[in-house]
Structure 1
Amino acid sequence: MKLIDCPRDAMQGWPTFIPTAQKIAYLNTLLRVGFDTLDFGSFVSAKAIPQLADTAEALAGLDLAQSHTRLLAIVANLRGAETAAQHPQIRYIGFPLSVSETFQLRNTNKTIAEALIDVTRIQELCARTGQQQVVYLSMGFGNPYNDPWSPDILGEFTQQLDELGVRIVALSDTIGASTPATIAPPFRELTAAFPHIEFGAHLHTTPASWREKVQAAYQAGCRRFDGALGGYGGCPMAADQLTGNMPTERLIEFSAEKGEQLGLNPEALAEAMHLNQQIFAGGH
């Protein structure tokens, strides 16, 4: 089981700017915890996400020598990917591809067809740089726009990504719409149909529903999970204020119950939780 902690997702919509030095201290602590991957920042328009305009500065302050954790940065277009590719410390370049045409237009001002051109070019870029693209299928568990959704549609998208050579695909619960009934069938079908692709779950949840969601994905074959300490961030479009990112500490709890060996550093985790509360508590 792989855990991807996503401070980027927790930070990106935060209303007050988190000082770069504070970000660096938090990220360095998370690197010491020992997660498989850290979704640490993004290379997108500073106008769109001002909170992460300092991603390159934050990256320069990271102590990567003592950590086996790999870095992931999110981009929204080829230009962002080209910026990310200039930093060989970044192992993964993440791109959000929506299965909802309406959301793709709202999120990146592109159609799905145009976004797939970006995916193709980013894949070509990664082949040159030795990095790896992670494609997030956003609105992966349904959407509020009445756009078509089904496990078959997710399969059609994955087939296109497979033909391009994409090997990590994360189903993303953009608005907290997922339930066990919409989580289990896609993972069950996709993991069987594409055994050479690593499928991830980027789930959003209320405090009461986290376990049933993780359990549904795990039982259906998913072994890659995204979370954010404290459950902060995640769901700007959700009407329910309690809906946020899957809390990483809950994923750790679940993995322990399943006998999964994560090899995390408990002292660093405790320190990261403390810093997390200093940054986010009081404004959630």
Structure 2
Amino acid sequence: MKIIECPRDAMQGREVFIDTAIKAAYINQLLEVGFDTVDFGSFVSPKAVPQMRDTAEVLDLLDLFHSKSKLLAIVANVRGAQDALQFEEIDYLGFPLSISETFQQRNTNKSITEALEFVENLQNLCEVKGRTLVTYLSMGFGNPYEEPFSADIVAQFVGKLDERGVKVIALSDTIGVAEPTMIERIFTTNIEAFPHIEFGAHFHSRPEGIAEKVEASLRGGCKRFDGAIKGFGGCPMANDELVGNVATETLIDVLEKNHGDLGLNKEELGEAMKLANFVFQ
């Protein structure tokens, strides 16, 4: 069972810039907990995401010597990928591919066709550099644009990614609309059809909906989950201030209830939760 902690997703939408040293101190604390991976930053346009303009500087301040956690950074174009690949400390590069044409344009200024071409190029770059590409299939459980959506369409996109050699796909409930029945069906169908791909769940949710979404994913065979401490962050397009990231502490409770101890350092997790109150005040 893998937990990916996502301070990048929690921070990126904050209007007030979080000091570089504070970002690094928080991420260093997260690295002590024992998460499989920490999604720590992104190499994207500082005009588009000003909060992430210091990702390289944050990376330089991270203490990775005693941590078993891997690092993931989001990229949106070739320049960002090239910047990220300069750093050997980064294990995963993430890219958001959307089932929605509208959201793909808004999120990365690319059409779906262009985004798939970029995924292919990025996958090749990652293979050459010995890194792993994580493709986030955003709007993976529905979207607000009245565009066609079904579990079959999700499977078609997974098939396209499989053709390009992608080995990790995070199905993403971008606006918090996923229903447990649909979640279980989508994971079951794709995990059975593509057993060589590692599927993850990146949910945005109201707090009261987290447990049922995670449990539905588990029934579908998912073993990789994204979260952010206290549920900070989330997509503003959800039009509901209560829809944020899955709170990591809730995610841990649900997973341990179903699968036992996850081997995390709960004392360090408690310290991270205290620090989060300061970082996101």
TM interval, short-chain normalised: over 0.9
Match of 2:70 in 1: 70
Match of 1:186 in 2: 186
Match of 1:17 in 2: 17
> CA offset at residue 259 of structure 1?
2.7
> CA offset at residue 143 of structure 1?
0.5
Match of 1:96 in 2: 96
The within-5 A match list for 1:179-218 is 179-218=179-218
Counterpart amino acid of 2:253? E
Aligned with 2:65: secondary structure?
Answer: coil
> CA offset at residue 151 of structure 1?
1.2
Q: What is the CA–CA distance in structure 2 between the aligned matches of 1:262 and 1:80, rounded to whole Å?
A: 33
Q: What is the CA–CA distance in structure 2 between the aligned matches of 1:163 and 1:150, rounded to whole Å?
A: 20
TM-score (norm 1): 0.97
Deviates more, 1:58-67 or 1:177-186: 177-186
Q: What is the CA–CA distance in structure 1 between the aligned matches of 2:62 and 2:201, rounded to whole Å?
A: 26
Q: What is the CA–CA distance in structure 2 between the aligned matches of 1:137 and 1:62, rounded to whole Å?
A: 29
Q: What is the CA–CA distance in structure 2 between the aligned matches of 1:269 and 1:213, rounded to whole Å?
A: 23
Tell me if 1:237 matches 2:276.
Answer: no
> CA offset at residue 236 of structure 1?
0.9
Counterpart amino acid of 1:113? T
Match of 2:268 in 1: 268
> CA offset at residue 268 of structure 1?
0.9
Q: What is the CA–CA distance in structure 1 between the aligned matches of 2:13 and 2:253, rounded to whole Å?
A: 26
- In the alignment, structure 1 segments of 5+ residues that lack a partner are none
Counterpart amino acid of 1:63? D
**Number of residue-to-residue matches in the alignment:** 281
The within-5 A match list for 1:155-194 is 155-194=155-194
Q: What is the CA–CA distance in structure 1 between the aligned matches of 2:51 and 2:239, rounded to whole Å?
A: 22
Q: What is the CA–CA distance in structure 1 between the aligned matches of 2:102 and 2:113, rounded to whole Å?
A: 12
> CA offset at residue 77 of structure 1?
1.4
What percent of counterpart residues are identical?
Answer: 58
Aligned with 1:258: secondary structure?
Answer: helix
Match of 2:52 in 1: 52
> CA offset at residue 90 of structure 1?
0.3
The within-5 A match list for 1:24-35 is 24-35=24-35
Q: What is the CA–CA distance in structure 1 between the aligned matches of 2:48 and 2:235, rounded to whole Å?
A: 16
> CA offset at residue 175 of structure 1?
1.0
Counterpart amino acid of 2:95? F
Aligned with 1:68: secondary structure?
Answer: coil
> CA offset at residue 266 of structure 1?
1.4
Q: What is the CA–CA distance in structure 1 between the aligned matches of 2:181 and 2:241, rounded to whole Å?
A: 23
- In the alignment, structure 2 segments of 5+ residues that lack a partner are none
Match of 1:140 in 2: 140
Counterpart amino acid of 2:2? K
Counterpart amino acid of 1:168? V
Q: What is the CA–CA distance in structure 2 between the aligned matches of 1:243 and 1:4, rounded to whole Å?
A: 19
What's the CA shift string for 1:95-136, capped at 9, x where partnerless?
Answer: 000001111111111110000111011011001100010000
Q: What is the CA–CA distance in structure 2 between the aligned matches of 1:141 and 1:95, rounded to whole Å?
A: 18
What's the CA shift string for 1:189-225, capped at 9, x where partnerless?
Answer: 0000000100000001111111111111111111100
Counterpart amino acid of 1:195? P
Q: What is the CA–CA distance in structure 2 between the aligned matches of 1:90 and 1:179, rounded to whole Å?
A: 34
Match of 1:125 in 2: 125
What's the CA shift string for 1:33-60, capped at 9, x where partnerless?
Answer: 0000000000000000000100000000
> CA offset at residue 260 of structure 1?
3.7
Counterpart amino acid of 1:208? E
Q: What is the CA–CA distance in structure 2 between the aligned matches of 1:182 and 1:56, rounded to whole Å?
A: 39
Counterpart amino acid of 1:64? L
TM-score (norm 2): 0.98
> CA offset at residue 182 of structure 1?
2.4
CA root-mean-square deviation: 0.9
Counterpart amino acid of 2:241? Q
> CA offset at residue 249 of structure 1?
0.4
What's the CA shift string for 1:53-108, capped at 9, x where partnerless?
Answer: 00000000001110110000001112211111111100000000000111111111
> CA offset at residue 263 of structure 1?
1.2
Q: What is the CA–CA distance in structure 1 between the aligned matches of 2:141 and 2:274, rounded to whole Å?
A: 33
Match of 1:225 in 2: 225
